[in-house]
Structure 1
């Protein structure tokens, strides 16, 4: 898609796509081997594809956790918890050592090479959500999705995790209005956000899987979500291209207002899903069908 994109239009900034295609011509093999989050990171082909490298690397080591959980559950749970603690501690140390902050004057660092290379794309900073997911799946498997949770405990835990998850999402909003967050607080936020958010998701998934979430379980069990979930990977891969095609072809200054951003968000989302559907039917779906055919033989 990126090789075709430069021929789909023009504009004042359209030449920026040439840099992306040059990167892919030179470093396509790092993406193929899923090492693009460690090798030639300064000239990564499709910079958002670091997620695929992380996912492949986590999948490669996942059997260690799964086998350990199955063979010696106590050791497996301890191993999962240790990885989460070590990863969070390392993330906090990196944020402090590199001076990654959350204040308005420091937000430029979020687009720096150091922020990308040392924190954002590295698996040892991204491990907690994957490990928490493995542990949640194992516990649900052991319980056969049949868990009786005290209503008071359920409500209290749901309130605490929902509050903490919302704090992760909106806790830094005040920074945009001139607020100040100290370096220790910023490091703590960066270390714990990758733990609190997946814990909240895991808790509500567990409630829905055990039919303890009531109306929420009924909503999340609707078949429509299955169709959207199948497109999620393709949407992730294609949406930056959709956004680039739009902004690089813009010929007039863009005045940012809440309305224009909502308008662009809805447009980009809809176009991304349409492009993802084409991508899924043309590429991902045939391989899924081939995999199912292989299993049935």
Structure 2
């Protein structure tokens, strides 16, 4: 399911194009509230305000494999669940740290050193130093320790790296799920949906009381910052799709590669429900900004509370149905080998595109024309350039580090198995 993560990443980049050209126009025109006016336009509101949901899909896709990774040494899937004691926790932590941290460190170094020589423009210094350099000078260490979503959520070093903090914290917490599942099975795992529902209820009540809205540009600055501090960055709030992925991974483990029969009417209904949920989340902004619902606190609070985990559930069903052999043409498309190399570079894509857009917007000298053709033109060009930069980053840093890590593991294993004289 590499393509699922890749498609999520592409839509993230497209949404980032929309948000960065909004900031571009705001600065060029010197209109403080230009972005709010633009967000009220139906078409741009979708592109601008729904990019965060895609990240939930990545959480679900990454962590549904957690149980499989714990038993990866048994390729025949005849692993006894009670052999979980063989699960190497230090190796899990080290691998994930080496997977994401060196690449992030390289980009932080680039941002603090040579990026200032890579562009120019009337707002270049404002964008570079105001959104990247100053934050990285003060908080590079929290980024590398993956704690900035709690320690400095309003001054994130490289804006997209907050997700890596959440990602690594979830990896650190994974044994707290795996070991109880080892001892208690479904008796423990049934507590996870309870936690998810509890978080949704809490989020709904807080959104209702404080006026939080899914269209963050419709809130006051203070309400926006408070909602991000309380419900956007914290791992304990954002972990719903991760828990859904854990449950999905456990279901796959229990099936042990067996295919189950799904009634065609049930399968069709679930596919319609899943795709409908995704479309509703993406297009729900239309209704929420209409006259009838613009001031409807209950509608905004429900959308604010339910969108995240609903997206994760929809992705989980698509994965489950495809794995059970009911994906038909969709599964064949998702499993095309052409997606594999691009999927492997998803981390480099995710990190490098922010720095590229910082240079792109900071170097703008004229206002951007907001029309469909212009947006698609920008998107296509940005995808090509981002792919080139991500490929360079992956070949020079990300993949070599992983190869060195694998070599060290193999060397240690060979020394361990080598008979003593």
Q: TM-score, normalised by structure 2?
A: 0.66
Residue 415 of structure 2 is matched in structure 1 by none
**How is 1:3-152 mapped onto 2 (pairs within 5 angstroms)?**
3=112, 4-16=114-126, 17-19=128-130, 20-102=132-214, 106=218, 112-145=224-257, 146-152=259-265
Distance, in Å, in 2 between the alignment partners of 1:107 and 1:265 is 28
Of the three residues 308, 312, 315, the one matched with 1:194 is 308
The alpha carbon displacement at 1:67 in A equals 1.9
Q: Which is bigger in relative contact order (C-alpha 8 A, separation at least 6)?
A: 2
Of the three residues 165, 182, 185, the one matched with 2:299 is 185
Residue 111 of structure 2 is matched in structure 1 by 2
Structure 2 gap ranges (5+): 1-109, 412-421
Q: Residue 104 and residue 221 in structure 1: after superposition, are their counterparts in 2 closer, same or farther (change >3 A)?
A: closer
Misfit runs of 4+, over 6 Å: none
Q: Secondary structure at the match of 1:42?
A: coil
Q: Secondary structure at the match of 2:148?
A: coil
Q: Residue 255 and residue 157 in structure 1: after superposition, are their counterparts in 2 closer, same or farther (change >3 A)?
A: same
Q: Deviations over 1:93-125 (max 9, x none)?
A: 332233112569725659942232222111122
Moved more, 195-204 or 61-70: 61-70
Of the three residues 317, 326, 329, the one matched with 1:215 is 329
Q: Deviations over 1:115-162 (max 9, x none)?
A: 322221111221111111111111112112322212121111111122
Distance, in Å, in 2 between the alignment partners of 1:119 and 1:193 is 12
Q: Secondary structure at the match of 1:293?
A: helix
What is the number of residues matched between the two proteins?
297
Moved more, 179-188 or 46-55: 179-188
The alpha carbon displacement at 1:86 in A equals 2.1
